[in-house]
A and B are shown apart, each in its own frame.
Chain A
């Protein structure tokens, strides 16, 4: 092994360990509390979109999938779906906000 390779490895190893440690918590199985927190956040974002009259069908179906997984005890699946639903709801809120002005560029003049 050359000196250069060895030095590179020495530099990379702490980084790799740091990365492994940072990923470790997410590797833990989700519990019911995690699911409830993720679901509540998704529901809140979805309510905000509803208040703007701009809900997406995919948000509703993903929220329903999260609830089904949670009710069935699959908390990993439930948390993943709830997070996806939250992201979808936030995207719809962003869309409604930006369209408040953006629609004007579409109109025929």
Chain B
């Protein structure tokens, strides 16, 4: 009896020790650590594609396929986004009815700041994207907001991205639990399967970059937003980040959320943060 009791006590203490040893790692696994996440995210792609230059990931499918890359480089001599870029430049400098311009709403007059968007607004407690900031600027100056998905919004963001070309993405996560929550929510959205096809963003852009889905070569998730907005041949026109998210959702047979929904803002925050250090290449052109 005594032997059985001591055996039982022995097992119990062994179990307690084992639990005590594993508990911290369980907590650590659930702790939000954007720095570690970004490092792991970048390493994953750098190791998966050791021959791709790090700054080349922002060129999406062209970084994965030499033939496509050569065609794209030739196209860049007369890029299809050029009209949008010119229109965006003109719109950006044209005063609102009250005489003010977009430059009055942004740091550094809105020039060369694309790499800092989206940012976490501690006053509002939410992520603010460049598209959102542009429409807020318009509304604050008595103008009607633009559609978030294309046309004027794509032109404006194309011009702003162009003034930031080559600058490394530089997204900050302030020391605010709400900012960490937004990052975590974005991460969850990115990895969550949805739609009848049961795809997550990661199903295509983490598990299968470089592979073909029908005729298209899938882009890597790393740096995927650095090239936005894009002229997409499939759209026969320009599209914003909002348009890209909405289209991705529809393609998996999920009903898209409204443009600039909290989920989209958060996933943009997550994807931009993990691309920190990679250059802005927008506006881009894609098949």
- Which residues of A pack against B, CB within 8 Å? 53-58, 60, 88, 91-92, 95-96, 99, 102-104, 106-109
Contacts and interface: CB of A to CB of B under 8 A. Distances in A.
B44 A58 contact: no
A49 to B, nearest CB: 9
A61 B142 CA distance: 39
Contacts, number: 51
Interface in B173-204: 187-188, 191-196, 198, 200, 202
A103 B191 contact: yes
B40 A109 contact: yes
A99 B250 contact: no
B196 A99 contact: no
9 contacts: A56-B195, A57-B196, A57-B255, A99-B194, A102-B193, A106-B202, A107-B191, A108-B37, A108-B40
Nearest to A107: B191
B232 to A, nearest CB: 20
A56 to B, nearest CB: 5
A54 B194 contact: yes
B41 A108 contact: yes
Contact of B196 (A88, A103, A109): A88
A65 to B, nearest CB: 15
Given A55-B255, A56-B253, 13 more contacts: A54-B194, A54-B254, A56-B196, A57-B195, A57-B250, A57-B253, A88-B196, A91-B196, A95-B193, A95-B194, A103-B193, A103-B200, A104-B191
A55 B191 contact: no
B253 A99 contact: no
B254 A57 contact: yes
Nearest to B30: A104
Interface pairs A-B: 7 shortest CB-CB: A55-B255, A106-B191, A103-B191, A103-B192, A108-B44, A56-B196, A57-B253
Contacts of A96: 194
